[in-house]
Amino acid sequence: VLLGIGDDAALLRPAPGTELVATVDTLVEGRHFLAGADPRSLGHRALAVSLSDLAAMGAAPCWALLALTLPEADATWLAAFARGFGELAQRHGVALVGGNTARGPLNIAVQLLGSVPQGAALRRSGARAGDAVYVTGTPGDAAAGREPGQRSAALRERCEFPVPRVTAGQALRGIASACIDVSDGLAADLGKLATASGLEARLQPLLLPLSEDLLAFAGPQRAVELALSGGEDYELCFTVPPARQAGLAAALPPELCRITRIGTVETASGPLDAAAEGFDHFRS
């Protein structure tokens, strides 16, 4: 950061030999969260969704810009929001280099900039037929945490304070052939990766890593449904060519994060259909 908050704009200098990676996300009240949601969770989630996108690219996060639209200036709300945002930013070495506030219905927009060594970014389009498909963590927990009547603090935590796989994403550079983060649901996001690679995903539901908490809450059948289509897990779904599978365990040891092989990508048998089941923002 050559010049942070305080001038008309920030001045930033990416490290030599790196490429700039940019993403932006908006959280809208009534759409992405309910009125009265915990402001510390909102601060965390607003940054976590963007961290997750950079993780999917194998990028290291660097700089964030925040545009906040608020119905009123509530100091208690703002302090809690700043704590949620700030704690996660600090954990990942992210500097807030710009901000803007306006009055209006609650709306939180975060732009996140990161860097990746030249030519090393992970993309959705790099998978080849026969590559194995993996997922980090235990998808479905966040969706279960949102369901009414669920009392598991662990599942609620997974929904309100998702952990973006920033370290794992960087560790997958040179190992994964393609990568996407799971925001809309595992089935839908894996479908997008496969489509971008011109392939078809073959997912084996029996291999899905389901957490004990999810199984206890939802039962085996509903747990699989939530893992496939629940969304907002912010796990990484990625493909690894057969020749690199031996290197995967060393790059991503279990203590860094759990990874599970859940299927393969194969040559498409028919016309590609991008409309896999999942969260479609424009479906009523």
Binding site for Mg ion (CB under 5 A): 53, 181, 183
Pick 53 or 232: Cβ nearer Mg ion: 53
Give Cα separations from 204 to 156, 228, 255 (angstroms): 27, 11, 25
Closer of 76 and 282 to Mg ion (Cβ): 282
Min. distance of Cβ 183 from Mg ion in angstroms?
Answer: 5
For the chain, count helices (H), then strands (E).
Answer: 8, 9
Strands (E), the chain: 18-28, 60-70, 95-103, 107-117, 132-136, 178-181, 199-203, 236-240, 259-267
Q: Which is nearer to Mg ion, 53 or 235 (CB)?
A: 53
Least distance between Mg ion and beta carbon 259 (Å)? 18
* 33 vs 234, beta carbon nearer Mg ion: 234
Q: How far is the CB of 215 from Mg ion (least distance, A)?
A: 27
Token digits of residue 27: 């959280």
Dihedral in degrees, nearest 10, Cα atoms 26, 28, 32, 38? 100
Decide: helix, strand or coil at residue 76. Answer: helix
Residues listed for the chain: 284
Q: What's the token pair of residue 90?
A: 């600090």
Burial of 242 (0-12, 13-18, 19+ CB in 10 A): exposed
Name the residue nearer to Mg ion (CB basis): 21 or 218.
21
> For residues 26 and 245, which CB has a smaller minimum distance to Mg ion in the complex?
26
| Closest distance of CB 66 from Mg ion, Å | 19
Question: Min. distance of Cβ 152 from Mg ion in angstroms?
Answer: 26
Rounded Cα gap, residues 235 and 164, in angstroms: 7
Closest distance to Mg ion from the beta carbon of 270 (Å): 26
**Closer CB to Mg ion, 48 or 227, in the complex:** 48
Q: Are strands 132-136 and 60-70 parallel, antiparallel or unpaired?
A: unpaired
To Mg ion, the closest distance from the beta carbon of 63 in angstroms equals 19
